[in-house]
Amino acid sequence: MNRAFGNSRIVALIRVASILIGGVAEADIAPGAASAQAVAARGITVHITNHAAVDQKVLDRAGEILTHILEKVGVQATVLDGNSEMAGRQASKLSNVYIDVLPRERAERLRVSANVMGLAPGAATDHDRIKVFVFDHMVEKLVWDQVKAGVAGRASRVPHKTQILGYAMAHEIGHLLLHVASHSERGIMQASWDRAAMQDLAVETLTFSREEAERIQAEVARRTSRSSE
């Protein structure tokens, strides 16, 4: 793949599910939507903390894209600014997910591989993980890769940073909610979004697979019920 972001190992604390990227075909789109209404009450709160000085408008739009991605698989997400609220005051632990958007220095401190765009710290066998990282400098790099591909005539659609950031966040949350460190052949959970995936991403039709959507719904339901205990 021309912009591989594979799994990486994190040195000290954690095993890592690396980030990235995926492409998906029309057939996989919004398969979970049929049951979306049934689980509409089951939601997660996503706290996004901007440690990388990302433009707030970009971050806000990325949050909207993330919300829309999750909505397509039947999950209602409320996005909050992790810098400003009351983030820790939610009663329910497991129905809260924390996304830290980090700059290059923080990525280097975590000793992730240079080509990794994000990660979900901890072991996939830990079903109660709530934190993920997305690395802004790698999002920027991917944006520029796409711009260059567009200029070179290799891509007809060039995604905006808001879209790549939103999808990167969805990918990492996917690792948490699916309990996997591994990746899928296609879709948001693809290890490295291929050209077709980037084209779908640019029009925001890239999605989780049907099977992933079902598992994500079940996991959110579990987390919601655990939270109300």
- Give me the least distance between CB of 227 and Zn ion, in Å please: 25
Give phi and psi for 112, each to the nearest 5.
-80, 160
Instruction: Tell me how far apart the alpha carbons of residues 17 and 118 are, in angstroms, rounded to a whole number.
Output: 8
Instruction: Tell me how far apart the alpha carbons of residues 212 and 97 are, in angstroms, rounded to a whole number.
Output: 18
State the alpha helices, DSSP H only, in 52-205: 56-72, 104-109, 136-151, 161-178, 195-202
- Residue 78 backbone zone (phi > 0: left; psi -120 to 50: alpha; other: beta): beta
Q: Are strands 131-135 and 118-121 parallel, antiparallel or unpaired?
A: antiparallel
- Give me the least distance between CB of 206 and Zn ion, in Å please: 14
Q: Which is nearer to Zn ion, 19 or 216 (CB)?
A: 19
Q: Which is nearer to Zn ion, 19 or 173 (CB)?
A: 19
Say which residues have a Cβ less than 8 Å from residue 78's Cβ, sequence separation at least 6: 43, 44, 45, 46, 67
Q: Which residues bind Zn ion (CB under 5 A)?
A: 19
Token pair recorded at residue 80: 């909050």
Q: Which is nearer to Zn ion, 80 or 208 (CB)?
A: 208
- Give me the least distance between CB of 172 and Zn ion, in Å please: 7
Q: Which is nearer to Zn ion, 155 or 189 (CB)?
A: 189
Q: What is the DSSP letter of 80?
A: E
List the strands of the sheet with 43-50, edge to edge: 16-18, 118-121, 131-135, 96-102, 43-50, 76-81
- Give me the least distance between CB of 126 and Zn ion, in Å please: 16
Q: Which is nearer to Zn ion, 39 or 168 (CB)?
A: 168
> Which position's Cβ is nearest Zn ion?
19
Q: Which is nearer to Zn ion, 16 or 44 (CB)?
A: 16
- Give me the least distance between CB of 86 and Zn ion, in Å please: 30
- Give me the least distance between CB of 141 and Zn ion, in Å please: 16
